[in-house]
Structure 1
Amino acid sequence: MSGVLSIRLFSLFSCLIIIIIIFISKANSDSTGLVCGNTAVSRANSNYTKNLNTLLNTLTSNTKINYGFYYSSYGQNTDRVNAIGLCRGDIKPEKCRGCLEQVKDNLTRLCPHSKEATGWFHDETCMLRYSDSAIYGQLALLPMYYSVEEKNTTEVDKFQEVLINLLQNLKSQAAFGDSRRKYSVGSAVGPRNITIYGFVQCTPDLSEKDCDDCLFESISLLPICCVDKVGARVNRASCLLRYNTSIFYDPSTPALSPLPQEVPSSPAPLPQGT
């Protein structure tokens, strides 16, 4: 094992206990992963809460965005709110906006006193995150959760070899994406001719290096958490990863056209807020 890999794995081990405390769940297609921050809003009618509600209610209002990534800020100084919404790369715009609406309702209902929160809807359809800190273009490995399928695989070593090679290739493809989408899916044939399907995605505001680093940490976790499982997911604030022996994404999603000179802002400019 190289020195760099050893250092990065040490970093992974050092925060693993914290991660486990934050969230662990069994795979459940009807569940939503959700983490409330520990920075509290002083009262329900605070300026921050008003700004948060305004921002979340308008985050997906720019219907020109068809690539599943939304970002905006609202408010001033300590009452400023920042939010990011991300949908899986194969999700259609209408379903994307509907998914983010559902996660928004969950977060504001279950984290009523938190200045920051992150929620992932089932099957990685979408993720929503908001904070009083700057989050655009910032790599965030936490919060995070992973879940695994109940079923075990056979020929574990061979399965893991094929899986890791697949995910490493997808990682490189996703990291190379542009400022609208950093997403890649693919498959590989494992032992006993079992097809392994993989999906990786970063929030596209990340640099190529930060996206690569985020997915590297998630891939490195698999031999620890999920070594003998036919399926698992590792969802972080900045990147998503999933694999399974059953296909779970639309493989026919067309590639984006070349990036225009200006990508529409998300959403249209808002007043400054309070």
Structure 2
Amino acid sequence: MSIVFRFLILANLLASIQSTCLNKGNYTTNSTYMANLNAVLSSLLTGLSSSGFYNASVGQYPDRANAAVLCGADVELDECRRCLRDITPKILTSCPNYKQAFEWDEGCVLRYSNETMFGVLAMYPGLWWWNLNNATSPVRFKEDLRTLIDGLRIKAAAGDGTRKVAAGNITAPDFQTIYALVQCSPDLSQKDCNICLLTAEADIPRCCDNRVGGRVLLQSCYLRYETYPFFNETVLQKLEPVTLPPPAPAPVIVPVPGSPILRSPPPPSSPPPSGLLIASEDKI
């Protein structure tokens, strides 16, 4: 099996929104599947909550339509909703009569399919972006980048069914700092999130070798790194789990002979990238 990469597009020819139509079946206009697809896409906007992920299904086999939206990890909910409103009609225009498609924008990823999606790992086809600038000390840069991404991958994969996200930075050679963010669709298992991010990381030498910045977007996960802080740290800090202090120990009551036993009261309630490559996996 080999990876075939095609459709190289320069950034100045590139719109911010990218549609990928999967050639895995078509539906006819005014069919039951079309009605179910329109219904499930309409439900995403109202179902999307602060978790930044929502999936839904409408209809019965073989006309069942499944769809999911994943907000960018550092994107506010209102911004994600605006993103979803924008790309929903565009994906239907870009992929007319396709039963499976996904669309990416800076704020969100939208996917739909006639096949089961929830908890199912999906990777190719994917999208690549890269920075045109090269690292001045590429060997050290790649070593530091690998160290950073491996640590973030492990942290993100260990996330719960609400969020699988991690971001951070590391000191790089030549007085630089590498910033990176990784994210999985939260319906994935820890194992599948690991697999997806490992695959995305393995794509870096193919798309972005020696580059100081790059993005790999697979259908179930996302990876980005740059030498400048690109993510919204304020939003990401809200995702960090809050560690509560341990409860205070109950007071030890030693009764005095001849006095009543006292009991303690109950406690109170408490810059745009430079290129794009669409990557697909074909059997040869």
Shift of 1:225: 2.2
Superimposed CA distance per residue, residues 148-174 of structure 1 (whole angstroms, 9 cap, x where no aligned partner): 111222110011011111000110110
Which of structures 1 and 2 has the bigger CA Rg?
2
Name the SS for the 1:78 alignment partner. Answer: coil
Which one of the candidate residues 178, 183, 191 is aligned to 1:209? 191
Query: Counterpart of 1:94?
Result: 78
Superimposed CA distance per residue, residues 161-208 of structure 1 (whole angstroms, 9 cap, x where no aligned partner): 111110001101100111111011111111111111101000000000
Shift of 1:39: 3.1
1:49 correspondence with 2:31: no
- Once superposed, what is the RMSD of the aligned Cα atoms? 1.7
Q: Distance in 2 between matches of 1:27 and 1:169?
A: 30
Equivalent AA in structure 1 for residue 115 of structure 2: S
Alignment of 1:1-274 (within 5 A): 14-17=1-4, 20-21=5-6, 24-26=8-10, 30-62=15-47, 65-122=49-106, 125-252=107-234, 253=236, 254-255=238-239
Q: Distance in 2 between matches of 1:140 and 1:209?
A: 13
CA contact (8 A) 1:41 1:48 kept: no
CA contact (8 A) 1:24 1:145 kept: no
Paired residues in the alignment total: 239
Name the SS for the 1:59 alignment partner. Answer: helix
Name the SS for the 1:197 alignment partner. Answer: strand
Superimposed CA distance per residue, residues 137-158 of structure 1 (whole angstroms, 9 cap, x where no aligned partner): 0111112121211122211001
Identity, in percent, stands at 37
Greater CA drift, 104-113 or 24-33: 24-33
Q: Distance in 2 between matches of 1:61 and 1:82?
A: 16
Give structure 1 stretches of 5+ with no counterpart: 1-13, 259-274
Give structure 2 stretches of 5+ with no counterpart: 243-284
Shift of 1:30: 4.6
TM-score (norm 1): 0.82
Shift of 1:27: 5.2
Query: Counterpart of 1:3?
Result: none
Shift of 1:15: 3.5
CA contact (8 A) 1:41 1:49 kept: no
Q: Which has the higher helix share?
A: 1
CA contact (8 A) 2:27 2:34 kept: no
Q: Distance in 2 between matches of 1:180 and 1:26?
A: 36
Name the SS for the 2:74 alignment partner. Answer: coil
CA contact (8 A) 1:24 1:146 kept: no
Q: Which has the higher strand share?
A: 2
**Distance change >3 Å, CA 205–CA 24, structure 1 → 2:** farther
Q: Distance in 2 between matches of 1:30 and 1:248?
A: 20
Name the SS for the 2:24 alignment partner. Answer: coil
**Distance change >3 Å, CA 257–CA 192, structure 1 → 2:** closer
